Structure 1
Amino acid sequence: MRNVNVGLLILRISLGVLMLFHGIAKLITGVAGIAGMIDDYGPTFLAYGVYIGEIIAPIFLILGFRTRLAGLVYVATMLVAVLIAHLGDITSLSKAGGWAIELPALYFFGGLALFFTGGGKLAVSRKNKWD
């Protein structure tokens, strides 16, 4: 039995919950570390954007509210994360033999998939272009 909508629900909840842990950690510890990394690229207040990418977008994904938009925010968040924290790892392998940035890549491609598919029929908003 094939059920694409249940698959999309599982993907949305998985990506949302797993990224939400990162966002909660930043709520607890703050964004000073990220601000320090961003300092080389632009104004440090941009570090607060992590709350959009790691708290608001994941909640939207979990609910299936504006899934395409949340997926796009996810993609942007992962691009910034790789550029400021993992740029040197793009061509590296981990000690276990996997791609050194496989977790950011998984979030990136998961967000990209949801951008193209939308949230499915088991989403809160499913009747518009940003479902």
Structure 2
Amino acid sequence: MHTDDLGKLVLRATLAILILFHGVSKILSGPGYIVGLLSHAGLPPALAYLVYVGEIVAPLLILFGVWSRIGALIVVVNMLVAFGLVHSKQLMMINDTGGWQLELQGFYLFVAVAVLLLGAGRFSVGGKNGFLN
């Protein structure tokens, strides 16, 4: 029995569900924090609304396996922006328990890279492992 497609489903669901929690939080609290970060960095505040694409739309694409590679690419970009705007000072830091300070963010980034490379597998709305799925 081949379990590759089941593994892809578990990987996709884990990434999507965990990032969706962040998206729901942004819906409830609004983009004000992100607007402030972007303004402070000299970037247009309107870009803050892209966080909804990265934390709501992209995870849903990944979860259902519809354009999951595009969704994963969006999450990768979203995480790289988060690293740059919020976490740059923590890149080389270790936390109190000896782990990387950014292990959660790193997990999101590298799992998104894995989904980007692997695709959705057959347990997806598309049911194929085409280029976009």
Say yes or no: TM over 0.5: yes
Unaligned 5+ segments in structure 1 are none
Q: Does 1:88 align with 2:98?
A: no
Match of 2:130 among 124, 128, 131: 128
Question: How do 1:59-70 and structure 2 match up within 5 A?
Answer: 59-70=60-71
TM-aligned CA deviation for residue 128 of structure 1: 3.5
Q: Does 1:57 align with 2:75?
A: no
Deviation per CA, 1:86-122, whole angstroms, max 9, x where unpaired? Answer: 0000000111111011111100000001111100111
- Residue in 2 that maps onto 1:22: 22
Q: Does 1:98 align with 2:99?
A: yes
- Residue in 2 that maps onto 1:75: 76
- Residue in 2 that maps onto 1:35: 35
Q: What fraction of aligned residue pairs are identical, expressed as a percent?
A: 35
- Residue in 2 that maps onto 1:109: 110
Give the SS at the match of 2:17: helix
TM-aligned CA deviation for residue 2 of structure 1: 4.4
Aligned partner of 1:101: which letter? L
**What value does the CA root-mean-square deviation take over the aligned residues?**
1.1
Structure 1 CA distance for aligned equivalents of residues 73 and 31 of structure 2: 22
Aligned partner of 1:129: which letter? F
Structure 2 CA distance for aligned equivalents of residues 112 and 12 of structure 1: 11
Whether the aligned pair in 1 keeps the contact of 2:62 and 2:68 (CA below 8 Å) is yes
Structure 2 CA distance for aligned equivalents of residues 47 and 25 of structure 1: 14
TM-aligned CA deviation for residue 129 of structure 1: 1.6
Deviation per CA, 1:49-83, whole angstroms, max 9, x where unpaired? Answer: 00000000111111011111111001000000110
Give the SS at the match of 2:94: coil
Give the SS at the match of 1:74: helix
Unaligned 5+ segments in structure 2 are none
Whether the aligned pair in 1 keeps the contact of 2:19 and 2:55 (CA below 8 Å) is yes
With over 3 angstroms needed to count, the CA separation of the structure-2 counterparts of 1:96 and 1:127, relative to structure 1, is: closer
Runs of 4+ aligned residues of structure 1 deviating over 4 Å after TM superposition are none
Deviation per CA, 1:7-45, whole angstroms, max 9, x where unpaired? Answer: 000011111011000000000000100110111141011
TM superposition score normalised by structure 1: 0.96
